[in-house]
Amino acid sequence: MTYAVRSATVRFGPAVALDDVTVEVPGGSVVAVVGGDGAGKSTLLRALAGEVSLDAGTVEAPPRQRLGYLPASSGSWAALTVTQNIDFVAGIYGLASDELAARRAELLDRAALTPAAGRLAAQLSGGMRRKLGFVMAIVHRPALLILDEPTTGIDPVSRIDLWRLVSEAAASGAAVLMSTTYLDEAERAGHLVVLDRGRVLVQGPYDRVRADFAGDITQASQPVRAEWAWRRGRVRHEYWPGGVPSTPSTPPGLPPGTTAVEPDLEDIVIALSLARRNTVPS
Amino acid sequence: MTDTLLRATHVTRRFGAFTAVDDVSMQLQPGEVAGLLGANGAGKTTLIRMLLGLIAVTSGRVDLLGGPPDRERRRRLGYVPQGLGLYGDLTVRENLSFSARAYGTAVPALPSGLTEHADVLVRELPLGAQRQVAFLAALAHSPGVIVLDEPTSGVDALARAALWDTIRAQAERGAGVLVTTHYMQEAQQCDRLLLMSDGRLVAEGSEADIIGSTTAVAVRTADWARAFAALAAAGAPVMLAGRAIRVANADPAGLAEVLKAAGIQASLQPVPATISERMLMLSRPAKAS
């Protein structure tokens, strides 16, 4: 089963939060939406979750009881214990007695939250609270799982735990759409979607995004065209959308010391953002 | 020796019976951007607070700009916390005037991207612009030592590149910059990394130095979903990487046995670990799966 938003446009007053965005989320896979503050990530996720209505386009999502959604806010009740939080949500989906006890024990164990079962959500660390939110989103075995920045602001070890939980959900057949501000996480997903100011800058499996990237990137201490250059460590990288005249290790016509680089995802996202800024008036 | 901007020598800090920072020695030179990494509870924040003179050391010694981190030396420090330390209810211009008065320096000129926002309340700005304002406020007095806590988290790639330009310009004029982070995209922008675990400094150097010879196991199989389920059920810390599976913290022979028992054909290959995986291994010593 594949879920999707197609040609989706969402406006908030004069602001266009999503502009003709199409994203498909097949069962058994993780689709990661990456972008900065204001890129439209949350709006895209909320559109698929049915939390925001479209001005144009269509949504293909399962019925609500087959959908799990972790909002960017905590997703749990601070004054309830871990167990109470899970039981409350499970009750909404009709899970009870032995079935609930078994499911709760399994999820607590997988999320390494068993020792914290009796603790108030307010007393959990940020990473534990995100894991609790995840457990609550998945307790009813949803077919579509939507996670809004599950790993933002938490420590790297909890991030790895969360990625394992997300991967397990996909391995058991769920369609997972998650947002992140971290490119290394997007790289890890089967399919990544880069959003920039409400539009899809590029999407696909990382290998294909990289293979399809057109143009060349060079590095030097002084770039030739400042508006096409950005900082990487001690040097600057520069994008040549049409390619440099030729691409030996020192391209002719460029200052000495300029070398071609193999772009990573950070380079590709910056280059495509610059191409958009430098060619489309905003 | 005299060039060193910031130096910790065998610094330890205890809170009751708990040792938060354990015998850490490190230094920061002019012109360098150093990254301090570590999981939560590794001791990063306590170390920073001692380096800034906000809490006392239990033993050891901190030298900031040639002496103890007292009030006078702290004037030559620039610090941008994760929460940015701006007043949301003041405009960009008002925030900058306030911090300039506090440091006794001139109000910094706004760069081109911020001029249109001069009279906008800070809380109404996008996060990338808020971060630029926080940098301006903290850097207007040309501090010798700059400490930044996750300086670029949450912003888009272009805003991140612009923030790194600002950070690098500070290093190029001779400041020493210490960035605390647990994000790889920030760590990779630093000249040198320091990795803390359980209060101790456990590795120092380039990304390659930090990773050292530690490896993860890449599992390639046609039946990734079943392989994943089998490995997860056996308690291995499995992760998805596209359609491949990575296991950060396990012995390949043990994994091979789990897969064989489940009747799954797979190839297992040791691959260099990532920095996050190295951190996971430090905080959770390998267990047989």
CB atoms within 10 A of CB A12: 11
Provide the terminal-to-terminal Cα distance of chain B, rounded to the nearest Å. Answer: 49
Which residues in B lie closer than 8 A to residue A157 (C-beta atoms)? 39-40, 279-280, 283-284
Chain A residue with the nearest C-alpha to that of B129: A37
**pLDDT tier for residue B288 given thresholds of 50, 70 and 90:** very low
Enclosing H/E stretch for A203: strand A199-204
The reply to whether residue A167 touches residue B276, judged by beta carbons under 8 angstroms, is no
Which residues in A lie closer than 8 A to residue B248 (C-beta atoms)? 160
The reply to whether residue B157 touches residue A36, judged by beta carbons under 8 angstroms, is yes
% of residues, chain B, pLDDT over 90: 44
| From A36, A154, A158, residue closest to B159, measured CB to CB | A36
| From A38, A125, A182, residue closest to B126, measured CB to CB | A38
Which residues in B lie closer than 8 A to residue A126 (C-beta atoms)? 40
pLDDT at B63: 95
Which of B167, B182, B97, B84 is closest to B126 using CA atoms?
A: B84
The reply to whether residue A158 touches residue B40, judged by beta carbons under 8 angstroms, is yes
The reply to whether residue A37 touches residue B277, judged by beta carbons under 8 angstroms, is no
Question: Which of A89-103, A248-262, B58-72, B174-188 has the weakest average pLDDT?
Answer: A248-262
The reply to whether residue A167 touches residue B228, judged by beta carbons under 8 angstroms, is yes
Q: What is the CATH number of domain B213-283?
A: 3.30.70.790
Delineate the domains of chain A, giving CATH numbers in brackets: 2-203 (3.40.50.300), 213-279 (no CATH)
Q: How many whole angstroms separate alpha carbon B137 and alpha carbon B79?
A: 9
Q: pLDDT tens track of chain A, all 282 residues?
A: 899 999 999 999 999 999 999 999 999 999 999 988 889 999 999 999 999 999 999 999 999 999 999 998 867 999 999 999 999 999 999 998 899 999 999 999 988 899 999 999 999 988 889 999 999 999 999 999 999 999 887 777 788 888 888 988 998 899 999 999 888 888 888 899 999 989 999 999 988 999 999 999 999 988 888 899 998 888 899 999 988 766 455 556 677 788 889 998 989 999 999 998 888 654
The reply to whether residue A231 touches residue B161, judged by beta carbons under 8 angstroms, is yes
pLDDT at A45: 96
Mind listing the pLDDT tens digit for each residue in B124-150?
988 888 998 999 999 999 999 999 988
pTM exceeds cut of 0.80: yes
**pLDDT tier for residue B89 given thresholds of 50, 70 and 90:** very high
The reply to whether residue B240 touches residue A273, judged by beta carbons under 8 angstroms, is no
The reply to whether residue A155 touches residue B239, judged by beta carbons under 8 angstroms, is no
pLDDT at B214: 85
Shortest Cα distance, chain A CAs vs residue B101, angstroms: 31
Which has more confidence, A152 or B10?
B10
The reply to whether residue A171 touches residue B224, judged by beta carbons under 8 angstroms, is yes
Q: What is the mean pLDDT of chain B?
A: 88
The reply to whether residue A153 touches residue B153, judged by beta carbons under 8 angstroms, is yes
Q: What is the CATH number of domain B6-210?
A: 3.40.50.300
| From A156, A181, A188, residue closest to B279, measured CB to CB | A156
pLDDT at B1: 45
Does the pLDDT of residue B170 top 60, yes or no? yes
| From B39, B165, B239, residue closest to A231, measured CB to CB | B165
ipTM (interface pTM): 0.79
Over range B226-239, report the average pLDDT: 81
CB atoms within 10 A of CB B281: 19
The domain segmentation of chain B, as residue ranges, is 6-210, 213-283
Q: How do B192-197 and A2-12 pair as beta strands?
A: unpaired
Over range B174-185, report the average pLDDT: 88
Find all residues with CB under 8 Å of A218, minimum gap 6, and list them. A237, A238, A240, A244, A251, A254, A258, A259, A260, A261
| From A37, A127, A231, residue closest to B155, measured CB to CB | A37
**pLDDT tier for residue B287 given thresholds of 50, 70 and 90:** very low
Which residues in A lie closer than 8 A to residue B191 (C-beta atoms)? 233-234
| From B154, B165, B283, residue closest to A36, measured CB to CB | B154
The reply to whether residue A159 touches residue B39, judged by beta carbons under 8 angstroms, is no
Whether B213-283 and B6-210 are alike in CATH topology: the answer is no
| From B160, B237, B243, residue closest to A164, measured CB to CB | B237
Q: How many whole angstroms separate alpha carbon B123 and alpha carbon B110?
A: 17
Chain A residue with the nearest C-alpha to that of B284: A157
The reply to whether residue A156 touches residue B182, judged by beta carbons under 8 angstroms, is yes
pLDDT at B233: 80
